[in-house]
Structure 1
Amino acid sequence: MTAPRPPKARADGATLACVYALVMTVIPASMVIKGLPMAITPGMLVGFVMGVVWLCAQLVTTVGAAKGRNAVRTALFLFALSQLATYGVATYGYLPADELAAADRTLITLMAVFSVGLCAVDGVRGLDRIDRVLKTMVVGATFMALVGILQFSFAIDLTEYLTPPILKPNGDVSFVLERSNFRRPAGTAGHPIEFGVVCAMAVPVALHYAMRARDFGGPDKRWWLCLGILALASLQSLSRSAVLALAIAAMFIIPAMAPKRRVRALVVIVLFLGATRVVVPGLVGTLYSLFTSIDVDPSAESRRRAVVRAGSEIAEHLIWGRGMGTYLPEKYGWLDNQYLGTLVQNGVVGLIVLIVLYGAGWYCCLRARMLTKDPRVKDLAVTIAACIAVPGISSATFDLLGFAVATGFTFLLVGLAGALWRTVQADAANQAAQPRTEVAT
């Protein structure tokens, strides 16, 4: 007699989050859905579905969605309210047609990623489901990294074959640029900078599962392979932002390690850089020169001029900004700094809310790490905090909210930080109630 099969797990918020992570990394970022009057990407569509599901789940008590206050949940609502307020202030008066269209498109895009974060914080319940989403993010980012490595090493662009029939390219987008005689890949992302930063955001998660498998059992080779691919792809993006992102992640993770493991990690980093120098001659030297020649680098000079360009805009629209999406880089010049761009477009209010959003993610990770006694959860809290730190700090070096994949991953990670805090709180409450239940029995 055969044993009965276990009941099939029901789809939940984690399922939608996994679909979102794969859609954002497997489908090229330039693809939009055919037949719609506005450029809607598959990721945006999944985000809207997640928002509708979240709303429906909040109306009932039978589907297991979390309810009640949470630091990330509050920060997400403040973010959405600030965007709506800025949009209202901007569209109250006259706007040129191109700026009005950009404001409409930006509002829709940001509401989609807001829905992603909200669905994650309330719909991803339990440590196993959080693990499932994070592992899916690593797999998706690794696929993107492999596409980028092929672009860099062999000039093979798989994005030409990753276009489903219902999609079309939104303009002519080149996924391979050049810098210092190297091909500069973008994988399935929209730009090499975004490609490098997204790969760097996934590095701490791949390292976490590789280490956890070694400490607590389970397959670890797959995660070490993902880690190597992601780290290499980050460097091959030839982006200062990506190198900075890797350094930020290391500064969060390495100090939290045990002393012996910390030394081994530093040795592995040195060996990895040495191997990269041998396998890809000139790559490490080129990355080093990006920082040593920053005084004469055209992109760095453009960032310095951006501060001057933004000054008059900030003075004129200090509180609410000139309107999200209305500062068109092709029209007014590139800023390459999300904090500066937020100050220009969303004012002081928008800048404060953006910082609060990152801070809420870190807060939930810190509280979860302090409350739990499970070493795996402690490590996971540091890992998610490190992932959020990558966009949180490197936003000063590129326009984060202008890149769909990096923005989507950021909001998903912030939502997972809130979900982790909910999980730890629930576990602590169950443990506190357990002795009383036994005594009563």
Structure 2
Amino acid sequence: MRWVIRRLGLGEHRGAPRAAAFFVVGYAVLLLAVPSQLILAPLGAPGTPANLWALGGLLCWICATVGGLNPVRGATATRIAVGMLTVAVLAAYANGTVSGWYAPPDVRQVTDELWTLVPPTVSDITATMIKAADRGLLSFAGWMAVVLISAEGIRSWRDLELVVAVVAWLGTLLAALGLAQFLWGIDIARYIQIPGLTPNADFGAVLARSTLNRVSGTAVHPIEFGVVLASIFPLALHYSIHRWGRRGALLPVGLVLVGATLSVSRSAILVLAVTMVVLLLGWPNAWRIRALMLAPFVVVGLRLAIPGLVGTIVSLFKNVQNDPSVSGRTDDYGVVFELYGEHPWLGRGLFTFVPRHYRILDDQYLMILLELGVLGLVATMLLILTGFANGHRARRWARTARSRHLGLALAASILGSAVGMVTFDAWGFPMAAGSSFLLIGLACAAAQLALEERPREHLEVPAGTGGAVKETTP
């Protein structure tokens, strides 16, 4: 492990990384390097190696917290946000189980598949929804474990930088797999086999848009592939900037950027744009000017290296009004809001809007409104805002320029990932969902580390608080 830390450029090794850093690194490896379709069959979709690892971590976090081994005690902003979303998910689960589910005849999308002509029975719907709701709880438990362990277990900037470096290189590996798929039309991920795991869906097929192959790497779909790489891009850029001049320093940021565009996805380009806006607003003027001067050369380089790529991406936005995928999203609203009116406050249960019985929704916030109700949507937004605000706090409070830039990068990644949820059902894709909650946990850890570094004159301990630290305005 010491060799890995030195190779990642994290400075002199002083003591082993804490267990939480190992947990988060392990989760990131399983999430990004193992094909998302490989699962432990008895558990279904939540049985991915990454989610099983996260569930084990949740058990450890509970035992450590109850046993007094967790250094973080009491109510924190992260715990409050996680607690509110947990209550909303459990309430939706109970409400759906008690109230039952149904599928209106007009909710299905018109397709050429013959099975859509056969209306489902009440018993079929109920059996499917109960299993789906259970799967939702298992997936959600893993996501919350990643947030809590990352936020409360990473106790040094070196450990946090280690996690970010690993994520950047995993993004590089994911992009490299996508590049191979793009160039040769072969999905290398299909050859990855792990004993005990079975694919829950066929994978390995190469999709196309215009004359270009749409790549997915180890992700389920090209949109997920592109959005995940686009949200990782600020972390890869942070890593490359602070390795400037060393061998291979530009490889992560270069491959991650190219990989995100190879998905030929509007969602990925939108996420990239949002992350870059956040970074540009937070950078010093000199950095901002250099980035803006470099941008045209990057576009020209992409156009020369991959003919047709830039033109295809531009056409996606120029013809957006005539695109069936966009009109299909707007056609969902009327049917969906009729169903939403049945459970407006508590929802019907996470994962219970099953496409087979209803329709595909390419909007995660709309999906949350249906499945978790208004309370769940508010709680979700609160958790996202908590992560973004913590990234911003780390940017303001951290002592070193490198740590401040890491806070900015995490804030950019979180906002980009949040915007991407508008364009597809991100929680239905294991890699996209897991990476978004991982980013929130890392931002919360960065804010806590930055707070602990603040000079004492910025802190006061009011009488009667039992030693609780309260921040004061400098």
What's the TM-score, normalizing by structure 2? 0.85
Structure 2 residue 235 is matched with structure 1 residue 205: yes
Q: Output the CA distance in 1 between the equivalents of 2:236 and 2:14.
A: 30
Structure 1 pair 339/37, CA: closer, same or farther in 2 (3 Å)? Answer: closer
Between 1:266-275 and 1:18-27, the stretch displaced more is 266-275
Q: Output the CA distance in 1 between the equivalents of 2:17 and 2:443.
A: 23
Alignment of 1:122-137 (within 5 A): 122-137=152-167
Structure 2 residue 410 is matched with structure 1 residue 384: yes
Structure 1 pair 276/325, CA: closer, same or farther in 2 (3 Å)? Answer: same
Q: Percent identity?
A: 32
Shift of 1:392: 1.0
Shift of 1:11: 4.5
Query: Aligned residue for 1:28?
Result: 35
Q: Output the CA distance in 2 between the equivalents of 1:260 and 1:132.
A: 28
Structure 2 residue 369 is matched with structure 1 residue 343: yes
RMSD: 2.0
Residues 55 and 142 in structure 2, CA contact (< 8 A), matched pair in contact too: yes
Structure 1 pair 221/264, CA: closer, same or farther in 2 (3 Å)? Answer: farther
Q: Output the CA distance in 1 between the equivalents of 2:222 and 2:355.
A: 18
Aligned AA (1:113): W
Alignment of 1:50-61 (within 5 A): 50-61=57-68
Q: Output the CA distance in 1 between the equivalents of 2:347 and 2:383.
A: 18
Residues 21 and 160 in structure 2, CA contact (< 8 A), matched pair in contact too: yes
Structure 2 residue 254 is matched with structure 1 residue 228: yes
Residues 67 and 122 in structure 1, CA contact (< 8 A), matched pair in contact too: no
Residues 391 and 400 in structure 1, CA contact (< 8 A), matched pair in contact too: no
Select which of 99, 124, 136 maps to 2:129. 99
Alignment of 1:21-420 (within 5 A): 21-33=28-40, 36=42, 38-39=44-45, 40-61=47-68, 65-95=71-101, 96-214=126-244, 220-420=246-446
- 1:25-53 alpha-carbon deviations (Å, 9 max, x no partner): 1110000125x354411011111011112
Q: Output the CA distance in 2 between the equivalents of 1:263 and 1:162.
A: 43
Structure 1 pair 59/220, CA: closer, same or farther in 2 (3 Å)? Answer: farther
Residues 321 and 345 in structure 1, CA contact (< 8 A), matched pair in contact too: yes
Residues 93 and 348 in structure 2, CA contact (< 8 A), matched pair in contact too: no
Shift of 1:174: 4.1
Q: SS state of the match for residue 331, structure 1?
A: coil
Query: Aligned residue for 2:110?
Result: none
Residues 211 and 220 in structure 1, CA contact (< 8 A), matched pair in contact too: no
Shift of 1:422: 1.1
Q: Output the CA distance in 2 between the equivalents of 1:372 and 1:151.
A: 41
Shift of 1:390: 1.2
Query: Aligned residue for 2:21?
Result: 14
Shift of 1:261: 1.8
Residues 26 and 162 in structure 1, CA contact (< 8 A), matched pair in contact too: no
Structure 1 pair 353/42, CA: closer, same or farther in 2 (3 Å)? Answer: same
Q: SS state of the match for residue 217, structure 2?
A: coil
Shift of 1:79: 1.3
Structure 1 pair 232/315, CA: closer, same or farther in 2 (3 Å)? Answer: same
Between 1:314-323 and 1:393-402, the stretch displaced more is 314-323
- Count of aligned positions: 423
Between 1:297-306 and 1:370-379, the stretch displaced more is 370-379
Unaligned runs of 5+ in 1: 434-441
Structure 1 pair 223/75, CA: closer, same or farther in 2 (3 Å)? Answer: farther
Q: SS state of the match for residue 317, structure 1?
A: coil
Residues 190 and 203 in structure 2, CA contact (< 8 A), matched pair in contact too: no
Q: Output the CA distance in 2 between the equivalents of 1:174 and 1:306.
A: 29
Structure 1 pair 37/121, CA: closer, same or farther in 2 (3 Å)? Answer: closer
Structure 1 pair 175/389, CA: closer, same or farther in 2 (3 Å)? Answer: farther
Shift of 1:263: 1.6
Residues 82 and 383 in structure 2, CA contact (< 8 A), matched pair in contact too: yes
Between 1:312-321 and 1:289-298, the stretch displaced more is 312-321
Residues 175 and 190 in structure 1, CA contact (< 8 A), matched pair in contact too: no
- 1:304-363 alpha-carbon deviations (Å, 9 max, x no partner): 111122120222221112322111123221220011111111111111011101100112
What's the TM-score, normalizing by structure 1? 0.91
Residues 270 and 420 in structure 2, CA contact (< 8 A), matched pair in contact too: yes
Q: SS state of the match for residue 66, structure 1?
A: coil
Aligned AA (1:375): A
Query: Aligned residue for 1:438?
Result: none
Structure 1 pair 247/37, CA: closer, same or farther in 2 (3 Å)? Answer: closer
Between 1:111-120 and 1:94-103, the stretch displaced more is 94-103
Q: Output the CA distance in 2 between the equivalents of 1:191 and 1:177.
A: 9
Query: Aligned residue for 2:472?
Result: none
Structure 1 pair 358/385, CA: closer, same or farther in 2 (3 Å)? Answer: same
Structure 1 pair 113/37, CA: closer, same or farther in 2 (3 Å)? Answer: closer
Shift of 1:7: 7.9
Query: Aligned residue for 1:437?
Result: none
Residues 302 and 334 in structure 1, CA contact (< 8 A), matched pair in contact too: no
Select which of 422, 440, 451 maps to 1:425. 451
